[in-house]
Chains A and B, each alone.
Chain A
Amino acid sequence: MKISTFWYCLRQGIKNIWKNKLFSLASVGTIAACVFLLCVFYSITSNFQNMVKTMESSVGITVFFNEGMAMEAIQAIGEEIALRPEVERMRFISSDEAWEEFRQDYFKDAPNLADGYVKDNPLAECDSYEIFLKDVENQDEFVEYLKGLNGVRKVNYSALVADALVSVNRLITLVSAGILIILLAVAIFLIANKISLSIAVRKEEIRIMKLIGATNFFIREPFVVEGLLIGLVGASLPLVVVYQIYEKVVGFAMEKFSILSGVLVFLPVNQVFGILTPVALILGAGIGFFGSIFSIRRHLRV
């Protein structure tokens, strides 16, 4: 394509937008509404998933060893566990540390009550590893693996919490995918309809172009430019709006529900929009591009 043809198509696409102001506004509005819903929805689900992940990372498995087991043997088992791909992090808790933690948790208001155990650790033989998994969904299999290890006396874990988190995670993923597909389908349908309408109005113009020897490419390009620009503008507007809203809503929630600060862990705005911005722009441009390509195709058979 000659550079002059490129500029001509670009100019013509912009002129078309200006000429059909109402249609352009309606199309921008449609894409903006869809992308706005996408942004809001993504912001909510990504934060929700982040909170679930945070909770997951606090669900640990504790492994206890046979009585009288040598420290070297315990460390050897620890090294073997650490090599497993499911493990995100783990820490060794000696029986002394375990008793100290217990004492601080349960006797902090009356420390003298624990004085009787100073030389007689009730949690002796309770050396353990606390293990946190990358994905709590693998907990059952991993627990079975731990139980099968030689020297392991007991494995403590919470199946209920893990199952609940897994179920919530699956539900979020399914609902997200469903809503995203519906949003995408609605957006493409609405835009294809609007572009079809705009092209139908210009059917005669396209016919004239064909008869004087214009190639399909030459006819199509201004429409594609028009679709792309409408898509990009339609996607940019809600991005700016949601960006502004996001920070305010997160600030408000942190202030109002500070008591839940351990659970309400919000993603920073840049992390959410680092993904959302390219996705929304590509989506907007894609809807505009494919909407115009599909709509114009049937008018080119002259």
Chain B
Amino acid sequence: MIVLKDVCKSYKSGTKAIRGINLTIEDGEFVFIVGSSGSGKSTLIKLLMKELEPDSGSITVDGVNINKMKKRYIPKYRRRIGVVFQDFRLLKDRNAYDNIAFAQRVISASGKEIRRRVPEMLNMVGLSAKYKSYPRQLSGGEQQRVAIARALVNKPEYLFADEPTGNLDPENSREIMRILDQVNQNGTTVVVVTHNREIVDEMQKRVLTMQRGVIVSDDKGGYVQ
């Protein structure tokens, strides 16, 4: 369970990105975070990833206050989270297989485990035939599917996706959301930051709407203006 209490975050430029957010996300939930550019959605994900530190307030994940987490525990915390970015962020010099395997190597998985899990993940995202392809040889949708496979290969408890369909056409966007929904069905808590109104309306999940660093609505259903 993720609990945010009175979380504030400002940037050095003086921009107040997050203003006193209170939020609870239960285990196994699927949550959309929507809002216009600069509303604080991505900052919220960065705070949850512990890429940024809040100025005040607390962020608790499974009962652990991650603000107080020592640096040496951050890698272990991040291994419990899968993360997907708008620009995929794959390692350009490694093929699809190695990009996914890399996440396993990070956790010192055995060679046997890697050889078992990576093909499983490639199969799940429908890219078994393209395991040797490098990112530049894959379409945007395919790259995003590799990124999702990489995010899921270590069986994370949480999956954070920051604009995962931002660079994709509607068809690929639907495919990506279908995969994320399936991941959620298997028990992973999924938090998706998006601008994509159609997708949010179609999925009918919990939707948090942000404006100027504040959550202005928290409902189940479609995109709220």
Contact = CB atoms under 8 A, between A and B. Distances in A.
A211 B108 contact: no
Interface string B56-86: 0000000000000000000111110101000
B129 interface: no
Contact of A214 (B51, B77, B81, B106): B106
A8 B49 CA distance: 26
B112 to A, nearest CB: 10
A212 B106 contact: yes
Contacts of A214: 75, 106
B110 interface: yes
B158 to A, nearest CB: 12
A208 B103 CA distance: 10
B75 A213 contact: yes
A213 B108 contact: no
Interface SS, A side: helix
Contacts of A302: 51
A88 B76 CA distance: 66
B216 interface: no
A218 B106 contact: yes
B78 A213 contact: yes
A204 B77 CA distance: 21
Contacts of A207: 89
A210 B74 CA distance: 9
B79 to A, nearest CB: 4
Most B CB atoms within 10 A — which of A8, A208, A209, A210? A208
Interface residues of B, number: 25
A212 B51 contact: no
B108 A208 contact: no
A226 B132 CA distance: 25
Contacts of B51: 211, 302
A5 B91 contact: no
B91 A208 contact: yes
A211 B83 contact: yes
B9 interface: no
Interface residues of A, number: 18
Contacts of B107: 213
A84 interface: no
B146 to A, nearest CB: 13
B105 interface: yes
Nearest to A217: B75
Given A211-B83, A213-B76, A205 B91 contact: yes
A295 to B, nearest CB: 19
B91 A211 contact: no
A277 to B, nearest CB: 36
Contacts of B83: 211-212
Contacts of B169: none
A205 B94 CA distance: 11
A173 interface: no
Contacts of A212: 78-79, 83, 102-103, 106, 150-151
B93 A19 contact: yes
A208 B107 CA distance: 14
Interface in A82-138: none
B170 interface: no
B93 A215 contact: no
B97 to A, nearest CB: 14
Contacts of A218: 105-106
Contacts of A5: 105, 108
A209 B78 contact: no
Given A211-B83, A212-B103, A4 B108 contact: yes
Contacts of A213: 75-79, 81, 103, 106-107, 154
A215 B89 contact: no
Interface in B102-151: 102-103, 105-108, 110-111, 150-151
A214 B96 CA distance: 19
B78 A4 contact: no
A256 interface: no
A66 B122 CA distance: 103
A298 interface: no
Interface in A6-40: 8, 19
Listed from nearest, the 3 A-B pairs whose CB atoms lie closest are: A213-B79, A213-B78, A214-B106
Interface of B: 49, 51, 75-79, 81, 83, 89-93, 102-103, 105-108, 110-111, 150-151, 154
Given A210-B78, A212-B103, 8 more contacts: A2-B108, A4-B110, A4-B111, A19-B93, A205-B92, A208-B89, A212-B151, A213-B106
15 contacts: A8-B105, A19-B93, A205-B91, A207-B89, A208-B90, A208-B91, A209-B106, A211-B51, A211-B89, A212-B79, A213-B75, A213-B77, A213-B79, A213-B107, A215-B75
